[in-house]
Amino acid sequence: MATILLLSGPNLNLLGEREPAVYGTTTLDELVAIASETAAKRGHDVEHMQSNHEGDLVDAIQGARGRCAAIVFNPGAFSHYAYALTDALATFDGVKVEVHLSNPHAREAWRHHSVISPVVDGIVTGFQAAGYRLAVDAAATLLEERTT
């Protein structure tokens, strides 16, 4: 059994009430439950942390080194400019998956570039709540491939 760290960036604590036309009506607690159930089916567990503060997320990534096998991360708006998160993720040797509820490429131009994407194994975007299941499944698959 491996631990997958599920990280949630700024404003994700408001999911379910914040811009439901863009992000859906699923709450963050419900997304964590989806991720946890998906991981459990694959023999893993999920540890979740949400913060509106970049430094807290950097600390969580650094704290996952040597302890967690994978990180599934929705960095929210930090995706587009938080190079400290990029640097922290680059030091994590495990599987890394970036996930977004909406499709940033179908939105405002400033959302089209992610500074996080170059240091992750893959990206799941635009599938709303199902994206969390897909992201955890992808992380579990990569973990299995790396151990065989």
- Residues with catalytic function: 23, 100
Task: Determine whether 21 is exposed, middle or buried from the number of CB atoms within 10 Å of its CB (0-12, 13-18, 19+).
Answer: exposed
User: Which 8-state DSSP code applies to residue 92?
Assistant: -
* Under 8 Å between Cβ of 101 and 39: no
DSSP states of 29-73 as a string? HHHHHHHHHHHHHTT-EEEEEE-S-HHHHHHHHHHHTTT-SEEEE
Radius of gyration of the chain (CA): 14
